[in-house]
Amino acid sequence: MSQAAIGLIETRGLIALVEATDAMLKSANVELTGPMVQIGNAMVTVVVTGDVAAVKAATEAGRTAAQSLGEIVSVNVIARPHVELAAMLPKLAAKK
């Protein structure tokens, strides 16, 4: 994995997650990894990658944006993830 950090936000409700994702991508130099993933019980999650500072800034912006629209289940930043962790993440969306 060439990125220095992984950021994850999980919410209960899609609208809050869409708002969080938009805020994350606008606030810092991060890249969306794969599509948003539905987990079940109305929980959805999104993953971004980038350098540690950018991912931390992005997840905080995403948390703030989503709080007014739905329930935030979890926000997490993993700095310097193990290379084998990439196999568990959604694949990067194909560039059009």
The phi-psi region of residue 45 (left if phi > 0; otherwise alpha if psi is between -120 and 50; otherwise beta) is beta
User: What CA–CA distance (Å, rounded) separates 39 from 10?
Assistant: 9
**Backbone φ, ψ for residue 83 (5° rounding):** -60, -30
Closest CA to 3 of 52, 50, 67: 50
Region 45-57: what's the mean pLDDT? Answer: 95
Quick check: 94 pLDDT over 50?
no
What pTM was computed for the model?
0.85
Contact 1, 10 (CB under 8 A): no
Give 92's pLDDT tier (boundaries 50, 70, 90).
Answer: low
Give 42's pLDDT tier (boundaries 50, 70, 90).
Answer: confident
Higher pLDDT, 70 or 58: 58
Residue 28 corresponds to which tokens in the numbers above?
Answer: 């810092």
Number of H helices, E strands in the chain: 2, 5
In this prediction, residue 38 carries a pLDDT of 79
- Average predicted confidence (pLDDT) for the chain: 88
The pLDDT tens digits of the residues spanning 25-41 come to 999 999 998 777 777 78
- The arrangement of secondary structure in 5-83, i.e. its CATH architecture, is 2-Layer Sandwich (3.30)
